[in-house]
Structure 1
Amino acid sequence: MTINAEVPVAAARGGPVAAAAGHGERDAEGTTSGADLVLPLLAVGGVGVLAGYGYVRRTRRGRTRTTPGVVSAQPPVTPLPTLERQAGTALVQADDCLRTSREELAFVEARFGAAAVEPFVRALREAERELSAAFSIRLRYGHGVPEEEAARRQALAGIVGRCAEAGRRLDTEAPAFDQLRALEREMNEALGVAEARFRELTGRTGGVEATLAGLRHAHYPAPATTTSISASTSVSAPTSATTVTGYVEQAKDRLVFATTHLNQARQAADLGHTGEAIRALRAAEGAISQADTFLNAVDRLANSLADAAELVPATLTGAEADIARATTKGATGPLHTQLAHTQLTQTQLAHAHTTLAAVREELTGDHSYGYDPLDALRRIVQAMLPLGATRDGVLSAAAWLVARNDVGSADGFVATHRGAVGVEARTRLTEAELLLKTDPAAADVPALDARELAEQDVRVHGNPYAGAADEHTSGVGGAVLGGILLGEDPDGGPPLAFGGPATRKRRGLPPT
């Protein structure tokens, strides 16, 4: 710029600005200088700089301000209860995937042999390890470990991550699994395997029904009993027959459902409707597996009761002898040593005496009022557990027999009602399964708890398909309750298949 005493004028220079100034000049008769354009441009530029500076300051204040109504750049913290629900949902879904995958794998192994399914068995084991670790984290979490909130959040994230890995492992194998089954090309062979197993179960049903009737007559007029385990713990133990009440009827319900869907699969295959045939076959296979579980539960109980009846006298005599030796002055032995090194109360000893006396009276008395040998063993074991006398000898064998039966009972109930059973029951079941390997006497309580919690879940869930009775929907309620069908549609939804969350619904109807 050049300066004089009058008006500013633009300095003469080349380039775009000078050219613009030249275009802006007019003659002396009516006119505007190029400087008149430059000054407004400079003013506008100054305003822009100030506006930009103000925007930057406002943005910085907004990022750090905590005034209500101002959105912070920090993401909101998810409440802990929400994370707990997400972890619980992940555990239930992963457990369902594993159970469904095991069921379908059994049909494939029956057709192709153990060697052919080894990769899928290996994938299942790896997924089981991940899920077991996730449940172990939840067990510790339920006992308050860890305590700090940040660490508890990490624990919940670990649960979700391990469940995701279990599902991913199964999802990875799903394509190879379908390739082995080759249902699109070999439907008749797969149907033959399912139909053979269906016929075998149908033939067993009458015999199992007679077995159950005999068990009721022999053992179960007696009411349920409540056994105190210690001063702070008690467990309600129903008589053994109640654990399989209605199981034969439920097995028949699953077999009716299987009949319908096996017929549908045959008809669809004959018509060349491959997708429909596969869906019907998978639904039938799931129902057949669960009918087998119901019938096996009755047979397992009958065998456990027979074994318990033989074991009760020796267990009772051994327990009485242990207490007598331990309370005799100068006596020696494992239980006496235990009594000497623990703060056992006279109440616990008195309770053990009372329990053993009651079982002795039942054993030698009139059985017309009911005698449940499994329950008798359970009461002996639980009475002796606080005394530390269940790790050796006949008491150890009794503890193993009772716990094995009760863990199996809880697992079978969860498997056949998994569409309604939540995470608490499954967590207690996992705890019982882990204890069964290390401390069978302690496994009985979480096993009974798991069964009770699962039954509560089923009662709360109800049966939205209870009114379905035509040939296409008969048994749908039980199939949804059992997790055979996902329950997303009026007809029960898609049947579930081998795989994780991303692949287990692949046998459903194609999206429209």
Structure 2
Amino acid sequence: MTYSLIRGRPRRAKAHIPVRLAHAVLGAAAGVGWLVLPVMTAASHDPVPATAHGTVASAAATQQGGTSTADLVLPLVAGGAAVVLAGYGCLRRTRRARTRTTPGVVPAAPAAPTPADFDRQARTALVTADDCVRTSREELSFVRQRFARPDTEVFAHALRAAETELSAACAIWRRYEQGVPRDPAARRQALVGVIGRCAEVGRRLDSEAAELDLLRGLEGPGLAEALEAAEERFRELAGRTVTAQETLAALYERYARSAVEPVTGYVEQAKDRLVFATARLNEARQAADRDDGDRAARRLRAAEGAVAQAEVLISGVDRLAAQLRAAAGLLPAALTGAEAELAAARRGGARKPLPYGELHARLTHADTVLATVREEMTSGPYDPLDALYRMTRAVERLENGHAGVLSAAALLVARGSVAEAEEFIGVHRGAVGAEARVRLAEAVRDLSAGDAAGADRAARDSRDRAEQDVRSHGTPYTAASATAPGVPGAVLGGVLLAEEEDGGPPASYGGPETRGRRRLPPP
């Protein structure tokens, strides 16, 4: 039935063409007839009827002069009109044929998405979902500062559910990167799964955004209390920034430069975020005094995001100082444990027997590493975390398995690597791509599963990839920084969504549909 309908309509449409052509020809023929008729009449020699004397003379004079101009006007007009109408009809039919979709003809289907299209969509979805989770976590910390736990549990539950979905999406993507599954259709379905789980992340957070705004009441009575809480946290961080700078200077004196390198620049970045927060808090106060609740809420939310990132940076310096102290205290015992592992390997106590030549090479390498560490400990400032890392990696290659103090050393190193990657990505998320985030998620899973070595490798790779992304991205909004200090850092850190000339709206609790809701209305 469908086939006959589709085939029948074009025939009926084509059947009108001869009729229209016949109308045009008929019109042209009528015009020509009008032109020819006076000529034919003038050429004939029919007798003239008898008339009065005066009339006869006048008529004879007219006939002798030939056909007058007035006799040709009407035929000329009629012919010209017929030609014009025929041309207009032809032109109209041509245009209609070019633009008309013939009824019954099925339009061509859009091109199916390619694997590269699915790949790009999955990467974008992962980055957006991870940003939403991080932003929601930051704002929720300010909400919990003011409200009791039962009042905020629904938002915390949505955030935990979103984190679970994001972790699953990252795991699927990681297997996809490793070539699992291999079948093209299954790989395409895996990417669809990543996109779907990321969409669920956004849905869970979007569903609670309005309730969180209602609880906070930033556009109304809750604004004053929220401003006081943010300013209190800001003042605390300002004091901690001075202490962190002193801590950093002490670390440079006590340890090797490589030990402090992971947090190099953290204090300066924290100060930049606090400068931005200072300006936004002042603007929020001014807007509140003018009863401009929308603008005050927008400025306050931007200040909160900057304060949260400054806290991450300052805490990173304190965290590294504590881990370096712990590593330095653990190192002598770790040396003793590593020597015991080497002795056991020489006695053939390895869980996985190795060929003699390979075992001998690995033992020699481990002996060299231990000797180097002992020399570093007595020759001046050194990097205790790096010393533990090299020792645990050397002993790991003996296939004995870590036990006792070496397990604790490997865990300390892995936790440090994961924390460094987490901090760096969190305060540079405006430039970090999907790969670094996925590797960090893998490191967190490995650490939870007790695989310290795997967590350390994934975290170091994550940090390296993130640093490459930031270097490739460059510094945004350099022009805006002249009039609004701190804007480039806020955009780079994802505090502002970079959708407008001033940096855009602040990122808020929620998914892709609601996280940028604090936009100012057009003037």
TM-score exceeds 0.5: yes
Asked if 1:503 is matched to 2:514, the reply is: yes
The corresponding residue for 1:82 is: 117
Asked if 1:99 is matched to 2:147, the reply is: no
The corresponding residue for 2:309 is: 290
Rounded Cα–Cα distance in structure 1 between residues aligned with 2:514 and 2:415: 33
Query: How far off its partner does 1:389 sit?
Result: 3.9
3-state DSSP of counterpart to 1:428: helix
CA deviations on 1:222-270 (whole Å, 9 max, x unpaired) are xxxxxxxxxxxxxxxxx23111111101100000000000000000001
Asked if 1:382 is matched to 2:373, the reply is: no
Match of 2:465 among 445, 453, 456: 453
- Cα 1:160–1:511 change in 2 (3 A) is farther
Gaps of 5+ in 2: 1-6, 16-104
Rounded Cα–Cα distance in structure 2 between residues aligned with 1:322 and 1:109: 48
- Cα 1:468–1:342 change in 2 (3 A) is farther
Match of 1:252 among 271, 276, 295: 271
Maintained 8 Å contact 1:389/1:395: no
Match of 2:262 among 219, 238, 243: 243
The corresponding residue for 2:409 is: 398
Match of 1:113 among 128, 148, 151: 148
CA deviations on 1:184-224 (whole Å, 9 max, x unpaired) are 22210000110000000001111110000110111124xxx
The corresponding residue for 1:130 is: 165
Rounded Cα–Cα distance in structure 2 between residues aligned with 1:343 and 1:83: 48
3-state DSSP of counterpart to 2:180: coil
Rounded Cα–Cα distance in structure 2 between residues aligned with 1:499 and 1:49: 52
Asked if 1:150 is matched to 2:185, the reply is: yes
Rounded Cα–Cα distance in structure 2 between residues aligned with 1:434 and 1:502: 29
Counterpart AA for 2:170: F
The corresponding residue for 2:223 is: 187
Output the aligned Cα RMSD: 2.3
Rounded Cα–Cα distance in structure 2 between residues aligned with 1:383 and 1:265: 55
Asked if 1:324 is matched to 2:343, the reply is: yes
Maintained 8 Å contact 1:374/1:402: yes
Rounded Cα–Cα distance in structure 2 between residues aligned with 1:408 and 1:509: 36
The corresponding residue for 1:271 is: 290
Choose 1 or 2 for highest CA Rg.
2
Counterpart AA for 1:353: D
- Cα 1:325–1:134 change in 2 (3 A) is same
The corresponding residue for 2:331 is: 312
Counterpart AA for 2:238: T
Rounded Cα–Cα distance in structure 2 between residues aligned with 1:483 and 1:272: 28
Counterpart AA for 2:159: L
Maintained 8 Å contact 1:396/1:441: no
- Cα 1:500–1:343 change in 2 (3 A) is farther
Query: How far off its partner does 1:343 sit?
Result: 10
Rounded Cα–Cα distance in structure 1 between residues aligned with 2:137 and 2:503: 21
Maintained 8 Å contact 2:476/2:492: no
Maintained 8 Å contact 1:344/1:387: no
Rounded Cα–Cα distance in structure 1 between residues aligned with 2:367 and 2:229: 55
Query: How far off its partner does 1:397 sit?
Result: 0.3
TM-score by length of 1: 0.79
Gaps of 5+ in 1: 1-46, 56-69, 222-238
Match of 1:489 among 500, 514, 517: 500
Maintained 8 Å contact 2:259/2:382: no
The corresponding residue for 1:348 is: 362
- Cα 1:50–1:194 change in 2 (3 A) is closer
Maintained 8 Å contact 1:390/1:399: no
Maintained 8 Å contact 1:134/1:158: yes
- Cα 1:276–1:380 change in 2 (3 A) is same
Counterpart AA for 1:405: G
The corresponding residue for 1:218 is: 254
Rounded Cα–Cα distance in structure 1 between residues aligned with 2:357 and 2:125: 42
Number of equivalent positions:
426
Percent identical: 55
The corresponding residue for 1:24 is: none
3-state DSSP of counterpart to 2:151: coil
Query: How far off its partner does 1:490 sit?
Result: 1.7
Rounded Cα–Cα distance in structure 2 between residues aligned with 1:342 and 1:258: 62
Maintained 8 Å contact 1:98/1:127: yes
Maintained 8 Å contact 2:287/2:293: yes
Query: How far off its partner does 1:489 sit?
Result: 1.6
Query: How far off its partner does 1:53 sit?
Result: 12
Asked if 1:444 is matched to 2:479, the reply is: no
Match of 1:366 among 373, 379, 395: 379
Asked if 1:163 is matched to 2:198, the reply is: yes
